[in-house]
Structure 1
């Protein structure tokens, strides 16, 4: 009669509805993304809309605090040297991070225009 060398017991019926720990988590989790953007239009293909934000790159920030800080410092130096903008966005995906960075810039432009209009009316 053959002897089984596997000594692990079979799963209990109450554990059958739980996923094992080794299964990947397929849901998207909110994470910090670093968005490199051009606000001055130096990378724009056409100059018809100079006040829009062109997203050049999106990178998910590391979960390790030290690695994230080092990478952020490197990107900040590169952005300052080339005149680009680094934006930190919490999002579910890189595409959502790019859209949120563009939306934040557009919102800031609207607020600036409203403030200028209100101050112009007060000065008159």
Structure 2
């Protein structure tokens, strides 16, 4: 997916982990690739599909609907994390913990969700 969006896998990971925010440049180019409104990607406002944008865009890369949905869900999750100071602080700590320890923390958190 990173190749299709012309970014590194690290950038995708940083977006997913809330380490970086989606830039206007990313939303513009990804909007063209995904066939969705860059305004919607950036702000979740307006129509997801912009008729003008779709008509004037460079032909979209062949992404599956599952790829598109995954990207959109990751962006929404990233915004939730970045906009919540507590979640952001937790995410920043978690990325510095070993995978084994992350799994233990996940198990603990799951007990709160039952």
The structure with more radius of gyration: 1
Same fold, TM-score > 0.5, yes or no: no
Q: Determine which structure has the larger helix proportion and give its number.
A: 2
TM-score (norm 2): 0.29
